[in-house]
Chain A
Amino acid sequence: DAGVIQSPRHEVTEMGQEVTLRCKPISGHNSLFWYRQTMMRGLELLIYFNNNVPIDDSGMPEDRFSAKMPNASFSTLKIQPSEPRDSAVYFCASSAANYGYTFGSGTRLTVV
């Protein structure tokens, strides 16, 4: 298995632009998580899905952030419009029940 695959690895965009981050979880994992990591705030859970259904999106900072999981093998996190304070590393992780998470390599987002 190739693990959790995220794309792109790096994204530099101008303020106000739409950003879409993509994630392919490990086949057979029924939970998917989006985290954001910054020096100031550490690792923050943004949203997680169980069996493709969003369970808890209380960590999504604002309405500018949205996430979808149209099927078991794909999820997106969208920021529209993006702002400089959204600059961070965004991680996707997947897991099977009662097992550890497998993280992707992350997307480093820079909004200028």
Chain B
Amino acid sequence: GAVVSQHPSWVICKSGTSVKIECRSLDFQATTMFWYRQFPKQSLMLMATSNEGSKATYEQGVEKDKFLINHASLTLSTLTVTSAHPEDSSFYICSAAGQLTKEQYFGPGTRLTVT
């Protein structure tokens, strides 16, 4: 149980375009989902926390207008990188937490390359 998927697993886009990454909890309802970013040889950095049906809470230094997060249902959250630039190239990982436990279940990640 507690499987989280991400789609796509990797994406290449041109500078200036927008990219949407999906995070799905496959076998449980996720009231809270988290989005992380990981640069090469670095740890995970939390970008934002999203609760189903409400606005996401962004960490300090994360541009909310650039990284749009939508958590429209209990099984799906999306991260849209708007007007992507090469410096947005990174590994993005989502996680999902259920209603009763604080434990987070992680997706396999999405590698974004902006050319």
Q: A and B bound?
A: no
